[in-house]
Amino acid sequence: MTSPVPISTLSNSLKQTSLTTSPNAVSTSPTTSYLDQYRPRTKSITKSTKTLKPFSTGDIKILLLENVNQTAIDIFGAQGYQVEFHKTSLGEEELIEKIKDVHAIGIRSKTKLTANVLKHAKNLLVIGCFCIGTNQVDLEYAAKAGIAVFNSPFSNSRSVAELVICEIIALSRQLGDRSMELHNGVWNKVSAKCWEIRGKTLGIVGYGHIGSQLSVLAEAFGMNVIYYDVLMIMALGTAKQVSSLNELLAKSDFVTLHVPETPETKNMISTPQLATMKDGAYLLNNARGTVVDIPALIDALKVGKLAGAALDVYPHEPAKNGPLFNNELNEWTSELQSLKNVILTPHIGGSTEEAQSAIGVEVGTALTSYINEGSSIGAVNFPEVSLRGLDLDQENVVRVLYIHQNVPGVLRTVNEILSSYNIEKQFSDSRGDIAYLMADISGVNLQEIKSLYEKLENTPYKIITRLLY
């Protein structure tokens, strides 16, 4: 845990503001939209810009859970933030106590940031999900509280794609069973129902970052690739898009799932879909635990409809490591564990050193940019707003960050307040019930900044006001 010595901050009347320094570079991300993403990302490049000061960020408190990668800790530490780090997730009571005073929290997939938890977070500005998914966060409540949420939708794509290739080969050769047998002293050299993957058809459900990378890897092994996505997406290599999920299921020797958790994808593979699959086919799920109806999968494996399956995700998963994967967690666990040629892994699709390092950099940079500059580009629940940096020679400038309810008349009120000042640049946008305005005001002294803050704080429909110097 990094705990720098606090530096003096603004008076109590400005306690909701965060007065910060700004990094000189903004992270870049490709813009693309696939089924396994939540929103497009935008790319921005900045030159050296003015650091927002004189107030430091020593008072900004960051809580990191679930062994978030060291790269993120280094990014936050370099900004002078106070960082509290935990290797595991926290129970709800302890989490509520810890989250009360922090300005940012970083989690992975096990921590549940429910409305009940978030309502205790009085100073929270931003949440970083150091993973692909954000279903562990109440996004709507966070948005209404003015809390932006960021994630990393593609940094672990290669790691997941490689795991899927590994699982395909392991299932087709029954490697899991042979390894377990030999660990128990049983020599069982067989070739019956063991296959090469060359020439077989791989069906990919969700042709996003993971699905498209997997497509290229599978073709390199000589597989035929088809895919289904709710969007029309240009194929890589010789892959072909099919018009329906049922068509993909009927044509594929291996079916692999790469979709988000939504109401539409819940139990998208159940008894009717399993019946549509080829006899002796294989099913792989490295997406979300709710996507597959596991009791239906167990029945299909028992009767020999499927020759095997690989699962890395489950409807209910342990909050920490240990002997916790049992029937108390999911009532069908022991039955699933007893089946032949079924690979069970503990949600390790993105668990590589490379992926976690990249996720730490991406999400850590996004959180820092939001805290220091107000940029919400890449937020999953929030209007995406950003302004270019200030020139190095600009003085007496304040950046206004004003989050408010999206109702008529608010901007008129705010612009009346700002009209007394020189507005260098301004941009606002809305998303659902939430709107976000950024403006750079020049030619102001400390007393004028305090007055500006107080006026904005007293406006109707205000959610959060921040000023960056």
Any domain includes 5: no
- For the beta sheet containing 104-107, the strands, ordered from the edge strand earlier in sequence to the opposite edge, are 82-85, 61-64, 104-107, 126-129, 148-150
Residue type, 4: P
Cα 31 to Cα 377: distance, rounded to the nearest angstrom: 12
Choosing from 344, 364, 381, the residue where a domain stops is 344
Residue pair 253/306 in contact (Cβ under 8 Å)? The answer is: no
Sort 164 into a burial class: Cβ within 10 Å, 0-12 / 13-18 / 19+. Answer: buried
pTM beyond 0.75: the answer is yes
Provide the token pair at 29.
């991300």
Asked if 336 and 215 sit in the same domain, the reply is yes
Q: 332-348: string of b/e by CB count within 10 Å (b at 16+)? A: ebebbeeeebbbeeebe
Q: What is the pLDDT of residue 48?
A: 55
CA–CA distance, 295 with 276 (Å, rounded to integer): 17
Pair 374, 468: CB distance under 8 Å: yes
Say if residue 36 is in the same domain as residue 168.
no
Residue in the structure block whose two tokens are 């809390």: 147
Total count of domains within the chain: 2
Query: Quick one: 314 and 438 in the same domain?
Result: no
Q: Assess whether 149 and 211 both reside in one domain.
A: no
Query: Residue 333's pLDDT is what?
Result: 98
How is the beta sheet containing 224-228 ordered, strand by strand? 240-241, 224-228, 201-205, 254-257, 281-285, 306-311, 342-344
Is the same domain home to 184 and 265?
A: yes
pLDDT of residue 233: 96
- Residue 3 belongs to some domain of the structure: no
Quick one: 212 and 319 in the same domain? yes
CA 186/CA 364 separation, integer angstroms: 49
- The pLDDT assigned to 454 comes to 93
The tokens describing 236, both together, are 């890589």
SS (H, E, C) the chain: CECCCCCCCCCHHHCCCCCCCCCCCCCCCCCCCCCCCCCCCCCCCCCCCCCCCCCCCCCCEEEECCCCCHHHHHHHHHCCCEEEECCCCCCHHHHHHHHCCCCEEEECCCCCECHHHHCCCCCCCEEEECCCCCCCECHHHHHHCCCEEECCCCCCHHHHHHHHHHHHHHHHHCHHHHHHHHHCCCCCCCCCCCCCCCCCEEEEECCCHHHHHHHHHHHHCCCEEEEECCCCCCCCCCCEECCCHHHHHHHCCEEEECCCCCCCCCCCECHHHHHHCCCCEEEEECCCCCCECHHHHHHHHHCCCEEEEEECCCCCCCCCCCCCCCCCCCCCHHHHHCCCCEEECCCCCCCCHHHHHHHHHHHHHHHHHHHHHCCCCCCCCCCCCCCCCCCCCCCCEEEEEEEEECCCCHHHHHHHHHCCCEEEEEEEEEECCEEEEEEEEECCCHHHHHHHHHHHHCCCCEEEEEEEC
Residue 273 shares a structural domain with residue 369:
no
Tally the C-alpha atoms within 13 A of residue 106's C-alpha that lie toward its C-beta.
Answer: 32
Question: Is 225 part of any domain?
Answer: yes
CA 90 to chain centre: 19
Placement of tokens 């002078």 in the chain: 80
Q: Is residue 410 part of a domain?
A: yes
pLDDT, residue 42, reads 42
Q: Which of 344, 366, 397 is the last residue of a domain?
A: 344
pLDDT per residue as tens, the chain (469 positions): 433 333 233 333 333 333 333 333 333 333 333 333 333 444 444 455 555 543 334 589 999 999 999 999 999 999 989 999 999 999 999 999 999 999 999 999 899 999 999 999 999 999 999 998 899 999 999 999 999 999 998 899 999 999 999 999 999 999 999 999 999 999 999 999 999 999 999 999 999 999 999 999 999 999 999 999 999 999 999 999 999 999 999 999 999 999 999 999 999 999 999 999 999 999 999 999 999 999 999 999 999 999 999 999 999 999 888 999 999 999 999 999 999 999 999 999 999 999 999 999 999 999 999 999 999 999 999 999 999 887 656 678 899 999 999 999 999 999 999 998 999 999 999 999 999 999 999 999 989 998 999 999 999 999 999 998 7
Q: Rounded distance, CA 298 to CA 67, Å?
A: 33
Question: Do 183 and 310 lie in a common domain?
Answer: yes
Under 8 Å between Cβ of 174 and 308: yes
Full residue range of the structural domain in which residue 25 is found = 12-155+353-468
Rounded Cα gap, residues 354 and 357, in angstroms: 5
Question: Are 133 and 235 contained in the same domain?
Answer: no
Which residue among 313, 344, 375 closes a domain?
Answer: 344
Same domain, 393 and 357: yes
| Measured CA angle at 369 (ends 367, 372), to 5 deg | 105
Q: What is the pLDDT of residue 446?
A: 86
- Is residue 4 one of the residues assigned to a domain? no
- Does 91 fall in a domain? yes
Residue (of 157, 129, 148, 132) closest to 377 by Cα position: 148
Residues in Cβ contact with 4 at an 8 Å cutoff, skipping those fewer than 6 apart: 58, 80, 81, 82
Within-domain flag for 217: yes
Q: What is the pLDDT of residue 395?
A: 76
- Whose tokens are 């959060």? That residue is 464
Question: With 0-12 CB in 10 A as exposed, 13-18 as middle and 19+ as buried, what is 16?
Answer: middle
Same domain, 317 and 391: no
The neighbouring-strand residues paired with 10 are none
Whether residues 146 and 185 share a domain: the answer is: no
Q: What is the CATH number of the domain that holds 175?
A: 3.40.50.720
Which sequence positions are flagged as catalytic?
288, 317, 347
SS (H, E, C) 241-262: ECCCHHHHHHHCCEEEECCCCC
Asked if residue 1 belongs to a domain, the reply is no
